[in-house]
A and B are shown apart, each in its own frame.
Chain A
């Protein structure tokens, strides 16, 4: 991945962006409140394949964006905005 399509600025080099982490929810299957807290703080889904994540266009419009990316090949699937 060398470029990202910013919804406001258009196609820009990846160096202009900062990775902001995966967007995730604690799975419903975890019900214990302490276990949910633990999961939220420490765990990553870290999937091989499609992942949803936040990026910050620090050297551009200085706004956040959400994309879906295939982590197995490091390529953007779609820009959600």
Chain B
């Protein structure tokens, strides 16, 4: 599904009946789900809690999708991530959820290298994945979180700047420095 199709579906959702909405939910989840699930890993190191946050976030998203006012895929994803942060904040308060530190790299590595017949891992790709995982492992916790969010999850500089209360250029430079520092650590 391209960006336009997703946004048309989201706009149409507002005027749909319940039965129509139920039919399009799997299509929208297919588009937003993987990235959102990945983002949930950013919110806690407890993978079981991350799954709960993901599920509760989806329910909140579809319960209020008719109030979403954006026009672009970026705005939609940003809105979804804000809902995920709110759900995680509830969990932090109610269940003393473990925050993201450190990244459970072993668990993530095992998952990401699972067998996928339609997308097999070549030896070269395997090495590339190892390099990226090592970059994250080499980073300081605050850098790891930024690198993860920006490059792996795809959160843009503007959203990260807003989240951190920093200027756009400050967050961009910080991420660049974090990446260069991790690269140097691997050389």
Say if A and B assemble together.
no
